[in-house]
Amino acid sequence: MTRQARTDKSFPAAGGQPAAAPEELAILGIGLPAWNRLLLVAGLVALVVLPFLVEGFTTFQMTQVAIYAIAILGLNLLTGYNGQFSLGHSAFFAVGAYTAAIAMNHFGLPYLLTLPLAAVISFLVGFAFGFPALRLEGLYLALATFMLAIAAPQLLKFSLFEPLTGGAQGLVLMRPEAPAFTGLDDDQWLYFISVIVMLALFWLSGNLIRYRIGRAIMAIRDNPLVASALGINTPLYKTVMFGISAAYTGVAGALSAMVVGFVAPDSFNFLLSVALLVGVVVGGIASMRGAIFGGFFILYIPTVAESFADVFSKGLSWAAYGVLLLAVIYVMPSGISGLIDAVIRRIAQPKQAPRRTDPAADVATAGPGPSNREKK
Amino acid sequence: MELLLQQIIAGLATGGIYACFALAVVMIYQAIDHFNFAQGEMAMFSTYVAWQLMAWGLSFWLAFGLTFVFSLVMGAFLYLVVLKPVQNASALSQIVAFIALMCIFNSLAGTIWDYSVKPFPSPFPETALFGALVTGHDLGMIAVTLIMLAGVFYFFKFSTLGLAMRAAAQNPESAQLCGVRVQMMTALGWALAAAIGSVAGMMVAYKVFLEPNMMYSIILYGFAAAIVGGLDSPAGAVAGGFLLGVVENLTGVYVPGGSELKLTFALLLIVVVLMFKPTGLFGHRVVKRV
């Protein structure tokens, strides 16, 4: 029974916030498996059909949304689930992108193989950075990672590395071409690669979050002291999470290098880190599908803001963006994903749903692991 | 040897800029227990106000005073209108609110006063000292920073209001129970931080020129200096600022490849400092009860 319930909660529907709100998850899990399955199927169909319905440029944008979603998910694993701040994810994005570009340009590696390579190298970089990060918390960690974001473009431009990185000019790489048998054009091909990678990574992190490691890292987030008293190896988990998070973002970077066909130091500046953080918060902290909403937000909202601002003055587009951002925080304090949860809950369970009286709710929430028990 | 000395003096002169901002950063940290990522942009906006007042024919010090008052009001207004509604939201949401403010100020300044680079006057004599490495403005700026530091130090250490503000930031609930009006204190903290930021902005604008993105790198160093010095120590922040300026200058001269990686080395220093002294050089350890 429990197993069944678990498998039903596959990613797009209830990847949500297991530790943050066990009761709500139970309500979703009981009230909604049919909804969930429906949503999942509809979502998958839409993903497959979409590139055949829209123009090439929209497909390209959708590819970018998928890529951002991967990076945001990576940051969310670290920030949302493990409670470690990072303003330095643009650096990991850059590591992934340059790994792919250098491997393809200098070593002739096939483009698909650059993805695992980027994951491994970014993991190592993130893991290494996780060590000094262990001693730092909150703001201090935010600053240390901020430094990483600032230093990354400078290091990429550094003259000693220029033969490898191409210096300030960056590197141009061959955009992968769609194999002839698929009958797809290049944009569509890259779209499908990105989406498949995205789905695979979402599935992986869903498993990561749901089982032992997920409980451990959330326990560390909620109360590090209790977590270590319960025998969780806090330093190990924290550094490994830094690595995993960096690996996700690195894969996103590698995909982006392929899709754009170009890498340059200044596209991986601090603003990218800020955009990713905004994506995490707007999508929903500690929410997996929130990453997708976040991806849409950071790709499209600047454009929307621009069209709003055009009414008054061109220069005001960033002001409009800021106002929109504030509005989102006021209206949706738990992000788009939190808003959707609330709406679904209201539709699915109109009047009833007295919380915590349902015996099945306890079955679903009372899994082993420290985080649940500690909450009470 | 002479080169070393010269570089140190030049470093101190740049460090003065960072120290100025680090002080503003620490000030807001004392008041709200958070970083304000929009601080640099707020200071930039205030500096534009000062520029505008001078363009209308006011003298430097008059414009300075009016801008100071304007910034006080702006700081309190921002807190009450923008930040207060989200003060119970997660820290991340607040950071995003700061980012939003940053975008808004940058864009507003660019729209009102356009993006061209403007010169900003200095109230201090232009005389060059120590072989043209330090100008009268540098000394004046350092003096202003130190005066502000003394004022802030006195305020937080000896005045009842300062004590109430620290209490409100560190433990809002207990402070409230002791009769401190927490909301008022936080608004006041914002006001003071904005005002100190505006002073810093007016001091550094002479050196870096006035434009909407002028604070982009300065505020970074300001944060860094504040962290190195210790977030709860105004004097530490000022010392951190000077230290950072000197280190930045020296690595530029003595380390091979240093001129390209100036910033990276300065940041490396910070990370190393933090690894050994996680609360900064002059910060106090906070002991938490379980």
Residue B265 contacts residue B272 (beta carbons within 8 Å): no
Residue B153 contacts residue B164 (beta carbons within 8 Å): no
Q: Which DSSP state fits B171?
A: -
Per cent of chain A over pLDDT 90 is 22
**Chain B residues with CB-CB distance to A82 below 8 A:** none
Give me the DSSP letters along A22-45.
Answer: HHHHHHHHHH-HHHHHHHHHHHHH
Instruction: Measure the CA–CA gap between B260 and B262, rounded to whole angstroms.
Output: 6
Residue B55 pLDDT > 50: yes
Instruction: Measure the CA–CA gap between B247 and A205, rounded to whole angstroms.
Output: 43
The conformational region for residue A138 under phi > 0 = left, psi -120 to 50 = alpha, else beta, is: left
- Interchain CB contact of B271 with A (< 8 Å): yes
A109 Cα to chain B: minimum distance (Å): 31
pLDDT in tens, A248-304: 999 999 999 999 888 888 888 888 888 899 899 888 888 888 898 999 998 888 888
Residue B56 pLDDT > 60: yes
pLDDT of residue A9: 36
Instruction: Measure the CA–CA gap between B99 and A79, rounded to whole angstroms.
Output: 17
First to last CA, chain A: 24
Residue to mutate among A226, A281, A285, A301, with most B CBs inside 10 A, is A281
Contact assignment for B264 to A151 by CB distance below 8 Å: yes
pLDDT of residue B66: 94
- Interchain CB contact of B255 with A (< 8 Å): no
Helix B182-208 with B215-229: angle, nearest 10 deg: 120
pLDDT in tens, A30-64: 445 566 678 778 888 888 888 888 888 888 889 99
How is residue B106 written in tokens? 């940058």
Spatial CA neighbour of A140 closest among B19, B197, B275: B275
Contact assignment for B103 to A138 by CB distance below 8 Å: no
| Mean pLDDT calculated for residue range B215-240 | 82
- Interchain CB contact of B82 with A (< 8 Å): yes
Residue A146 contacts residue B267 (beta carbons within 8 Å): no
How is residue A221 written in tokens? 């987030």
Contact assignment for B99 to A274 by CB distance below 8 Å: yes
pLDDT of residue A45: 86
**Chain A residues with CB-CB distance to B220 below 8 A:** 146, 150
Kindly give, in sequence order, each residue whose CB lies less than 8 Å from that of residue A195, ignoring residues fewer than 6 positions away.
Answer: A47, A63, A66
Q: How many CA atoms lie within 13 A of A150 on its CB side?
A: 22
| Mean pLDDT calculated for residue range B176-201 | 87
What's the CA angle centered on A352, arms A349 and A356, to 5 degrees?
100
pLDDT of residue A69: 94
pLDDT grade, residue A19 (50/70/90)?
A: very low
Residue A28 pLDDT > 50: no
pLDDT grade, residue B73 (50/70/90)?
A: very high
B278 Cα to chain A: minimum distance (Å): 6
Residue to mutate among B34, B83, B99, with most A CBs inside 10 A, is B99
Residue B265 contacts residue B247 (beta carbons within 8 Å): yes
CB pairs under 8 A between A and B: 121
Contact assignment for B111 to A313 by CB distance below 8 Å: yes
If you average pLDDT over every residue of chain A, what do you get?
79
Residue B70 contacts residue B46 (beta carbons within 8 Å): yes
What residue of B is the nearest CA neighbor of A315?
B111
What's the CA angle centered on B233, arms B279 and B281, to 5 degrees?
40
| Mean pLDDT calculated for residue range B7-12 | 82
Residue A311 pLDDT > 80: no
Residue B27 pLDDT > 80: no
- Enter the ipTM: 0.79
How far from the centroid of its chain's Cα atoms is residue A284's Cα?
A: 11
**Chain B residues with CB-CB distance to A146 below 8 A:** 220, 223
Q: Is the dihedral of CA A147, A151, A152, A153 positive or negative?
A: positive
What residue of B is the nearest CA neighbor of A317?
B107
Contact assignment for A325 to B267 by CB distance below 8 Å: no
Least confident of A8-17, A75-84, B168-177: A8-17
Residue A14 pLDDT > 80: no
Contact assignment for B97 to A329 by CB distance below 8 Å: yes
Specify the higher pLDDT residue, A339 or A360: A339
| Mean pLDDT calculated for residue range B45-68 | 91
Per cent of chain B over pLDDT 90 is 9
Spatial CA neighbour of B52 closest among B108, B136, B126, B125: B108
Residue A243 contacts residue A92 (beta carbons within 8 Å): no
Of B85, B96, B267, the CB nearest to A278: B96
| Mean pLDDT calculated for residue range B122-136 | 72
Q: Which DSSP state fits A316?
A: G
Domains in chain B and their CATH numbers? 2-276 (1.10.3470)
pLDDT in tens, A220-232: 888 888 888 888 8
DSSP E strands in chain B: the ranges are: 128-129, 134-135
Contact assignment for A140 to B99 by CB distance below 8 Å: no
Contact assignment for B223 to A143 by CB distance below 8 Å: yes
Contact assignment for A144 to B270 by CB distance below 8 Å: yes
**Chain B residues with CB-CB distance to A282 below 8 A:** 96
Report CA-CA distances (Å) from A286 to A74, A200, A338, A347, A375.
11, 18, 10, 23, 16
Three-state DSSP class for residue A262: strand
If you average pLDDT over every residue of chain B, what do you get?
82
B41 Cα to chain A: minimum distance (Å): 12
- Name residue, tokens 């409009």: A320
pLDDT of residue B257: 66
| Mean pLDDT calculated for residue range A114-139 | 86
Radius of gyration for chain B, computed over Cα atoms and rounded to the nearest angstrom: 19
- Beta pairing partners, B210: B118
Residue to mutate among A155, A329, A331, with most B CBs inside 10 A, is A329
**Chain B residues with CB-CB distance to A160 below 8 A:** 257
A36 Cα to chain B: minimum distance (Å): 28
Per cent of chain B over pLDDT 70 is 93
| Mean pLDDT calculated for residue range A53-78 | 90
